[in-house]
Amino acid sequence: MFQQRSSKNINEEKKTNLEVLTFLGIGTEFKGKVLFQGTLRIDGKVEGEIDGDDTLLVGESGVVNGTVKAGNIQISGKVKGDIRAGERLTLKKGCDVRGTIFSRTIVIEEGAVFNGTCRMDGVVEIREEQHQTEEQEKGVIRL
C-alpha cells in the first residue's frame, strides 16, 4: 500500500523542484530594472527593463513597457518595447505586442496581436559588459 522511497529518490525530487518562481501579482506596479533567475510571472505592471536567462510569463493582466530579455518568453498580456528571446517566444491568443522581436523561434497563436518587426537571425545576445555598466549606473533589484 505505501511505498518506501529511498533518500536518493527524495534528494533527486528536491533538486528538480528547486526552480525559482517569482510572481508580480495583479495591482503590483514596478519601475526600474528587474533581474531574475528561474521563472518570473508578471500579472501586474512593469515599466523599465526585465532581464533573465530562464522563463518569463506575462499573464493576461500583465503590462510591460520596456525592454524584455529571457530564454523563453510567453506573453498573454501587453508588451510594448524590444523583446529578446534566447530560445523561444510564444504570443498567446489575446496578447498585444508592439515593438521589435529578436528570437530563434517564434509562435504566434491565432488571435494574438503583433505590430512591429521580427528578426530571427540569431541576434539575441546582449553584451554582458553593457549590463554590468548599466547596473553600476542605476539601482538594480535582483529577484
Tens digit of pLDDT for each residue in 77-133? 999 999 999 999 999 999 999 999 999 999 999 999 999 999 987 544 444 444 555
Number of domains in the chain: 1
In a domain, residue 111? The reply is: yes
Report d(CA 56, CA 22) in Å as an integer. 10
Asked if residue 4 is part of any domain, the answer here is no
Q: State the pTM of this model.
A: 0.73
- Domain annotation covers residue 135: yes
Considering the domain boundaries, does residue 67 fall inside one?
A: yes
Mean pLDDT of 11-33: 72
Nearest to 75 by CA among 121, 42, 38, 39: 42
Distances (CA, A) of 10 to 7, 16, 53, 130: 5, 10, 27, 41
User: What count of Cα atoms within 13 Å lies in the side-chain half-sphere of residue 36?
Assistant: 26
Rounded to whole angstroms, the Cα distance separating 50 from 70 reads 8
Amino acid in position 10: I
* Grid cell in block for residue 32: 526600474
Report pLDDT for 128.
46
Q: Residue 99: which of 85, 86, 111 has the closest Cα? A: 85
Query: How many whole angstroms separate alpha carbon 75 and alpha carbon 94?
Result: 9
Determine the Cα–Cα distance for residues 61 and 93; give it in Å rounded to an integer. 13
8 falls within a domain: no
| Residue 12 domain flag | no
Per-residue confidence at 50, pLDDT binned at 50, 70, 90? very high
What is the span of the domain harbouring residue 80? 18-142
The answer as to whether 5 is a domain residue is no
SS3 5: coil
Q: How many CB atoms lie under 10 A from the CB of residue 14?
A: 9
User: Is residue 13 in a domain?
Assistant: no
